[in-house]
Structure 1
Amino acid sequence: MTAGFQKKTLAILVGMMMGAMPAWAADAAATTASPDDGAARDATTPAGNTLPGIKVQATRENAYGPVNGFVAYQGNGATKTGTPIHETPQSISVIGRDQLDDRNVTNLNDALHYTAGVATYYSNDTRNDAFEIRGFSSDFFYLDGSRLPAIPFRALDQFRVDPYTLERIEVIKGPASVLYGLGEPGGMVNMVSKMPTENARGQVDLLAGSYNHYGIGIDTSGPVDADKRVLYRFIAQETYSQNQVDSVHGNRTLIAPSLTLRPTNDTSLTLMATYLHDNTMDSNNFLPYYGTVAPTIFGQHISTSLPTSNPGYENYDKTQYSFSYLFEHHFDPNWTFKQNFRYSHVDLNNQALFGYSLSADQQTIQRAAMNLKSSFNDIDVDNQLLGKVKTGPVEHTVVAGFNFTNQNFMDNEGYTYTGYALNLYNPTALNLPVVTPSFNDTQMRQVQRQFGLYVQDQMKFNKLILVLSGREDWVSSTTLDNFTSSYTAQHSSAFSGRAGLMYLFDSGIAPYVSYSTSFQPVIGNDAYGSPFTPLRSKQVEVGVKYQPTFMNATFSAALFDLRQNNALTAAPDPALTGSVQTGQIRSRGLELEATAELTDNLKLLAAYTYQNVVITKGSALDPTVGLNPTATPRNYASLWLDYSLKAGPMRGLGFGAGVQYMGPTYATADNSLTVGSFTVADAAVHYDIPHWRFVLSANNLFDRTYVARCGNTTRCQYGERRNVLATARYSW
């Protein structure tokens, strides 16, 4: 990077702080097309002010397709209207296919490592994706705008999406109920599937890596007929891997075909199906605080490879599949109708032993035997009418919709808590008898239905943008416990809203302010026998986005105040058991994020998050009021740089390196025990030649041993050890 470029960059940053742009930058802004116009652009400036090697990349991008490089300009998850991210008054992060490929990503957790506001759990648990957004757990995932089956605070039977099938991942920060119905306060993750393409293409991927990780995948797409009225895509992958925990191994089978029908220029229907089967083992491997974070009284630490379950008993067998379609019809250039439908199903059979208490000598844990079977059926239908109208000088982009979701969940669980002790430092394989706990803990069937009506108006007057959104939901839930013969019916309604105001300066700076709300039903009754009411959340966010005209980049900063009301807290009367809903959790913080292609050769991802999450209200008997939740960091940051050679004999060779920092967290609800901060380094090398691409990546490059998180003193998890993966891709 030249000294001249550094000086001019500094001048721009000073100009931002002073509210003005340097003259040369203003000239460049006046002569360069907006990154949202879809045209190829090489930014130029007057003579004497040329920026060597700086090009603003072509951005022929839509919100449902590929991201050109690392920098995304369009998004759909926050508005459902395919709006430029720079014109959306809300914090949004987008991870595109190029970024996933350059970092050799194989799961959703890894994909989100370098995203502001998202704290992933970093553990080696292979069964689910687990992370927090702005300090709140994120259990609801969305695929192509449809909600996937989920039970809050329970990830065992999570419907998972393999990144191999994805074109992009959108992270919407803050409450999103106004367009999607019930959801968590921190935000949502919407994944966008790879779609059939007009041009014939294909690829075959071969994988090999640490812990005997092997795999093969195929992704082929193109037109079926000469007129390109019928397009197809077929994705399949088979992988096998062991784990840093001894004896843990498993395989995954993935199939995802899709077909697009375009009978007219105004009508399209895309049919999609997915099948995923995980046949592996229970890799949660919960360990005690003493022996992992802190040494035992004998100065010992538990090995990161120690299994706490039993290979002869444990099993994690999950089958999931879905059928969906995306329908779209244009009545004219201004009005469009869309209908998205998805049916999803999950079956899980999970057996494992897990530790739940530590002996006084800190040598032995008592384990419970678990036998869990569950089944999900989920239907999600979203109807949308989108239009563009003008009222005088004001341009309106409106969407009105009706959403219906039906989720049917069956859960059988059994536990046995005696007879399964394990010495952590002198383990002896237990030849367990066939453990079949009777299903006497839970035999539950739960049905939840949600109806939602929503409307949104995105108004633009010159450089001023105002977004107003509103939604009313009606939710009914019935729960039947066959073991206790109890039946609970709950009915609730909720209004969710959002208002956002933004101003677009010619310099590329766009300050904004927004207010949004969300709700989340809670199943069950309180300590007084009354049905729980939904959790209600609200957020105020103030931020600024910067999209420079002289380079391919986006920068953002956001301050947020997020509060969840009606949170569960201990009953105020010690004679009562259960909870009441007088609690409140508050998250305040700052997010900084930059995604940039600094030169033709150098790409940058940078993120920093500060969040102060506090339990601000509770009953008189709740000892956690004023304290921080467990496993929730206050500070975390990441940086990734990728340099590629575009000329010379080594053209096509690239190098990536990253570092991730996670601040300390609390291991106990009373905040008396802490888990230390950790920093891990990642690296990747990629090489492109005609038809071939090779990537060699290493997560936790220096093989640091660290504890990723503790839910309490007996539920600590080691972080992932060094994991090397090589991918060879042949494309045509």
Structure 2
Amino acid sequence: MFKRQLSMIGVLSVLLTSPAFAEAIEQIPQTKKDKSGSVVAKIRRLSEIDIPATNIKDWLSQSSTPNAQSPVQVTGVRVNRTETGIEVILETKEGEKLKPISRNEQNTLITDITNSQLALPNAKDFRSDNPVAGITAVTVTQVDSNSIRVTVTGEAGAPKVELFDSDEGLIFGLTPVVSAAQQSPTQNPTLPREGAQENQPEKPSANTDEPIELVVTGEQDGYRVPEASTATRTDTPLRDIPQSIQVIPQQVIRDQGITRITDATRNVSGTTLASGYGNLIGDVRVRGFYSGILRDGFSTGALNFFIDGGNIEQVEVVKGPASVLYGALEPGGIVNYVTKKPLRTPYYAADVTVGSYDFYKGAIDLTGPLSQDERLLYRLNVSYENSGSYRDFVDNDILFIAPVLTYQFSDATNLTFAYEYLNAKLGFDRGLRPVSAFLNVPINLNIAEPDDFQNIEEHRVNLTLNHRFNQHLSLRSGFTYLSEKGDSFVTQPGELDADGRTLTDRGYFGGPGFGDNYALQTDLISDFKTGAIAHQLLLGLEWRKRYQADQGIGGVYEGTFDIFNPVYGLPRIPDPDSFFEQTTTTTGIYLQDQVTLLPNLKLLAGGRYDFVEYSSGDGQSAPTEFYDSAFSPRVGIVYQPIEPISLYASYSRSFTPNNSRTASGEPLEPSRATQFEVGVKAELFDQRLSATLVAYDITKTNIPTTDPDNDEFSIAVGEVKSRGIELDIAGEILPGWKVIASGYLNDGFVSKDNNLPEGRRLTNAPTHGASLWTTYEVQTGDWKGLGIGAGMFFVGDRTANIDDPLTLPSYVRTDASISYKRDKWRAALNFKNIFNVKYYESNDYLTFPQAPFTVQGTISVEF
């Protein structure tokens, strides 16, 4: 599969670099403006473009044609303020020969100018920070020997751009996407950097009748995301971080018709879904270990495993130990669910989804300013789901409401208040025992009772303050409170007799429970230099407290249960009720420095010290208490031999408390893990496609294992290892053609234990897996807006349980989609598991049959 992909990429790279392709691109949109803004030429349609080559043979024959033009010399760069923003002037006597090609990526406008060279008198490149409110940076760099790149980053969105030709050179007229209060030309003065000139009074630019060509590829809301804050708590390009980070953006979620948000992680190498409590698919394994779950960088602290995706903008998967910033976590990685934020531009959307097994869901997404000065912004996401299931007795009723308010006190300070309400009444699916006999029963069989259930009510409040003291020092502080109430009744499968069909000792448990979770994070971020070396220093403090209490009920069923001839409603024999409570308090302080040693050499170093207190009890006797502390370091380095390539290596550690004692009463030391990782990150097709190839080695030690002298206690001598190679690709190959793909090899096994044999594989950790999803949307003509998509998700065989292992067979799930978008409307059909493959997912104790062939249709409208 990978050979075919590489062959395709090789052919496409030849096509994209051929002069015929460049000539065709140059003809796409042509505009001509003078400084007054008058349009004197129209934009041509794609159907009007004359493309000389019509087949691969012609393209390849033209690719060898030499370019005889000499590069245009840009001898200076100047930034001037204007009434609407700024203008960036590329000073040259041959401005009419410059041919810009622009695109937007998130908040950044990127313009590449071929056949040009930057020849500044005193510097290699140009940079200006905060030239005007709403624009945070302007850079002009030499991409290669014959190309210049102009990058303009906005605060709230990519700036709007108009091009002008003049005797001075090529002029970019830039208007920031900001509120009216932020557009004062006296705020945020320009600070020159190396290669920058002091702002000069605005000069009138001479008009010309020569046309300026500008190609705009459109908003890059595709599959590639260039930045994510989870790995460093700062807005750092992924290519500059010595760690594997994969982001699943909203476009992938929409195109794949994802209704359970954790399904998004199927697109990431090294991950497997571990069907959580009740087959609600809330757990994700990364590199063979359970992942930490974050919400906007905060630990969720949730009691249940259900995560509603009604307001999720993107899913970020950070691989490897993350204790350096987030405290006690397993070493595989973390999954951060990033929520939707208010926008200044009004946006209103609604969609309705109907699917197999009585699936019905409606959602609205509203955002925009609430005040005339645009200082007060809002966003509101509401969804309601009523659904059945391919599993017996499972019906769901889910209401989710998430309003957000942001107030901009000034250019330097804003405050965001976010609230989430979840009310979920869920049917319960306890799954099946990890025994081979259960692989032969129909997938609809539910060994639970028809009246099993789980009800969840959540209130989540988040308050975030951002303040910039000056251009080099900023503060970010956030507080989260989560209140949970739940109630459940759950049937336990029991044990399977030797006849392979009779369950004995079926039991039940449940009862009401509640929890309160608090989290406070404060980060101080400073940018400064020590000589020629640039630093971005992060100092942070985090405090978390989680309280959980359960009023338990339980008992057993009379008689036995035949899995091939089930009879429900057997009499119940109750046990005495119980009560359990636990409290975990974590305090952590961390320090991180991102050091730019050279423009192409970056160092990341940091450490965190955690103090963890844990107590548990039954509300009557004295509670059991534990106290742990741990230091978690990380260091990594990134070298970029050329701009599109990043080579990196890193070392990191993590820890998790064991909260148990030895036979002598001594507390077990925390489990600790160490990872070594090396990798290469590449940006292909003019940064439209990103690729990450990594190799890692994780060793986790101090794992509790049975004490050979007293099997009622444990000693911390166990050890496991996880080693592997991962490849992730995401982005846009050609306009309208998007792809996200992954592949991995993993060897996760027990390396030391007093009970388990060495070499036994870790549960739910396949030795290999891969995924591929690609879509194409017609860009022009009568079929414009028609999209098709297809993908495959391959998971290798894996162990379902570690004590008496059952190997679950490998599977390939095939999905497809078709959609049509016109004006503000979009209609889509998603087909999942087209070939009706029977496959299973598992956690450490149970297996869960997954959905057969399903179809869902969605109608969306923006207004």
Q: TM-score, normalised by structure 2?
A: 0.75
What's the secondary structure of 2:607's corresponding residue? strand
Separation in 2 of the partners of 1:480 and 1:680? 45
Decide whether the 8 Å contact of 2:676 with 2:698 is kept in 1. yes
- The alpha-carbon distance between structure 1 residues 61 and 643, as it changes in their structure 2 partners (threshold 3 A), is farther
- Which of residues 483, 487, 507 is equivalent to 1:368? 507
1:486 Cα deviation from its structure 2 partner? 4.7
Distance 1:498 1:490, change over 3 A: same
**CA contact under 8 A between 1:378 and 1:407: conserved in structure 2?**
yes
Shift of residue 327 of structure 1? 0.6
1:664/1:587 CA distance change after superposition, 3 Å? same
What is aligned with 2:768? 635
1:494 to 630, 652, 668: 630
Q: Is 2:104 the partner of 1:39?
A: no
Q: Report what 1:319 is aligned to.
A: 457
SS state at 1:183 partner: coil
> Which residue of 369, 376, 384 maps to 1:238?
384
User: What's the counterpart of residue 571 of structure 1?
Assistant: 707
Give the length in aligned residue pairs: 689
Counterpart residue number, 1:445: 581
Say whether 1:560 aligns with 2:564: no
Partner residue of 1:142 out of 294, 299, 316: 294
Larger Cα Rg: Structure 1 or Structure 2? 2
Indicate the residue corresponding to 2:423 in structure 1: 277
Choose between structure 1 and 2 for higher RCO, CA contacts under 8 A separated by at least 6 residues. 1
Question: Which one-letter code corresponds to 1:697 in the other structure?
Answer: N
1:51 is matched with: none
Give the residue type in structure 2 aligned to 1:364. Answer: T
Q: Residues 546 and 705 from structure 1, CA distance in 2 versus in 1: closer, same or farther, beyond 3 angstroms?
A: same
Q: Which residue of 2 aligns with 1:458?
A: 594
Q: Give the secondary structure class of the aligned counterpart of 2:254.
A: helix
SS of equivalent to 2:324 = helix
Residue of structure 2 in register with 1:307 after alignment:
446
Q: Which runs of 5+ in 2 are unaligned?
A: 18-63, 75-99, 117-148, 159-218
Question: How far has the Cα of 1:64 moved from its partner?
Answer: 11
**Within 2, Cα distance between the matches of 1:604 and 1:170?**
17
Residue 330 of structure 1: aligned partner: 468
In structure 1, which of residues 717, 720, 728 is the aligned counterpart of residue 848 of structure 2? Answer: 717
Q: 1:416 aligns with which of 536, 550, 555?
A: 555
Superposed CA deviations along residues 505-539 of structure 1, whole A, max 9, x for unmatched, are 22511110001111111223234322232211111
CA contact (8 A) 2:282 2:305 kept: no
1:474 corresponds to which of 602, 611, 616: 611
For residues 625 and 37 of structure 1, the distance between their equivalents in structure 2, rounded to whole angstroms, comes to 51
Determine the C-alpha separation between the residues in 1 that align with 2:496 and 2:606.
51
Alpha-carbon separation, structure 1, partners of 2:601 and 2:320 = 22
Question: Could you tell me which amino acid in structure 2 is paired with residue 481 of structure 1?
Answer: D
Moved more, 666-675 or 259-268: 666-675
Q: Distance in 1 between matches of 2:550 and 2:6?
A: 62
* TM-superposed deviation, 1:626: 2.4
Match of 1:520 in 2: 656
Structure 2 counterparts to residues 172-187 of structure 1, below 5 A:
172-187=318-333
Secondary structure at the residue paired with 2:432? coil
2:834 to 701, 706, 710: 701
Alpha-carbon spacing, 1:363–1:671, altered in 2? closer, same or farther (3 Å) = closer
Aligned equivalents of 2:757, 2:553: Cα separation in 1: 30
Inter-CA distance 42–711: structure 2 relative to 1 (3 Å threshold):
same
Residue in 2 that maps onto 1:19: none
In the TM superposition, residue 315 of structure 1 has moved relative to its aligned partner by: 1.3
**1:201 counterpart letter in structure 2:** Y
Letter in 2 for 1:613: G
Q: 1:352 aligns with which of 490, 495, 510?
A: 490
Q: Which residue number corresponds to residue 684 of structure 1?
A: 817
TM-aligned CA deviation for residue 241 of structure 1: 0.5
Task: Report the Cα distance in structure 1 between the residues aligned to 2:398 and 2:12, rounded to whole angstroms.
Answer: 50
CA contact (8 A) 2:275 2:282 kept: no
Q: CA deviation at 1:57?
A: 13
CA–CA distance in structure 2, aligned partners of residues 468 and 697 of structure 1: 44
SS in 2 for 1:452: strand
Q: Kindly provide the CA deviation profile for residues 464-484 of structure 1, in whole angstroms up to 9, marking residues without a partner as x.
A: 00011011111111112236x
Distance 1:613 1:317 in 2: 36
Between 665-674 and 335-344, the greater mean CA deviation after superposition? 665-674
- In 1, distance between residues paired with 2:295 and 2:599? 34
- Matching residue's letter, 1:75: A
- For residue 657 of structure 1, the aligned residue among 766, 772, 790 is 790
Aligned to 1:577, what secondary structure does the other structure show?
strand
Equivalences for residues 382-421 of structure 1 within 5 A:
382-419=521-558, 421=560
| Counterpart residue number, 1:226 | 372
Q: Alpha-carbon deviation of 1:696?
A: 1.2
Q: CA deviation at 1:687?
A: 1.3
2-side partners of 1:106 and 1:525: how far apart?
42
Q: What CA deviation, in whole Å up to 9, does each residue of 1:348-396 have, x standing for no partner?
A: 2111212121122112112211224322211110001111101111111
Q: 1:504 to 1:147 in 2, by over 3 A?
A: same
Maintained 8 Å contact 1:292/1:707: no
Q: Which letter maps to 2:477?
A: Q
Distance 1:63 1:292, change over 3 A: farther
**Which amino acid in structure 2 is aligned with residue 523 of structure 1?**
N
Q: In structure 1, which of residues 6, 9, 12 is the aligned counterpart of residue 13 of structure 2?
A: 9
TM-aligned CA distance change 1:722 to 1:578, over 3 Å: farther
Q: Which residue of 779, 784, 789 corresponds with 1:646? A: 779
Letter of the aligned partner of 2:355 in structure 1?
A: G
DSSP-derived class of the 2:654 partner: strand
Would you say the 8 A contact 1:544–1:558 is kept in 2? Answer: yes
What TM-score, normalized to structure 1? Answer: 0.88
Q: 1:673/1:215 Cα in 2 relative to 1: closer, same or farther (>3 Å)? A: closer
For the residue of structure 1 that corresponds to 2:494, the secondary structure is strand
Superposition RMSD on alpha carbons, in Å?
3.1
